[in-house]
Amino acid sequence: MIIVRYLLIWLLSFIFTSAIDALWHLGIFGKLYSEGIKPVARMSEGKMAFNAFAGIAAQVLVVTCIVFLVLYKTQKDGFLDAALIGMAAGVLAITVYGFTNYALLKNWNLTLTVLEVVWGPILGGLSGIFVFWMKSLLLK
């Protein structure tokens, strides 16, 4: 059934995108994010308190948009198109988030803004390529 293949593409894309997003935020730049977000973070008993529903909902929306746009707009042999579409979605979802936080939040710093500006198109582009790769494997 074709719907199962689309759902599988979404699920695998969600796992891929979430894994590289976690690697960026918790691994590679974990210390910078932790130090930068603490002044604006929701806190509970001295520790950052993560709102799981909101965090997962944001990730679901980002992945859903990238999957939809890549599946809808790419043609055969469209890895470059998929990367560009993903990059645009990443800029809209993540880069805009970084700039908006910098514009509105008193303690959101320039380092976090730069990290989000850089990360948006990278995450989106990599995810777009992944979605297209899954499309080429599962929707022949």
The predicted structure's pLDDT at residue 1: 86
Asked if residues 66 and 74 have their Cβ atoms less than 8 Å apart, the reply is: no
The predicted structure's pLDDT at residue 8: 98
pLDDT tens, the chain, 140 aa long: 899 999 999 999 999 999 999 999 999 999 999 999 999 998 888 888 989 999 999 999 999 999 999 999 988 779 999 999 999 999 999 999 999 999 999 999 999 999 999 999 999 999 999 999 999 999 98
The predicted structure's pLDDT at residue 70: 95
The predicted structure's pLDDT at residue 75: 81
Q: What is the 3-state secondary structure (H, E, C) of the chain?
A: CHHHHHHHHHHHHHHHHHHHHHHHHHHHCHHHHHHHHHHHCCEECCEECCCHHHHHHHHHHHHHHHHHHHHHHCCCCCHHHHHHHHHHHHHHHHHHHHHHHHHHCCCCCHHHHHHHHHHHHHHHHHHHHHHHHHHHHHCC
Q: In one letter, which amino acid is 2?
A: I
Q: How far apart are CA 19 and CA 48, in angstroms?
A: 21
The predicted structure's pLDDT at residue 33: 93
b/e map 55-76, b = 16+ CB within 10 Å: eeeebeebbebbbebbbeebee
| Joined tokens for residue 65 | 């948009």
Rg (CA), the chain: 16
Question: Does the predicted TM-score (pTM) go above 0.85?
Answer: yes
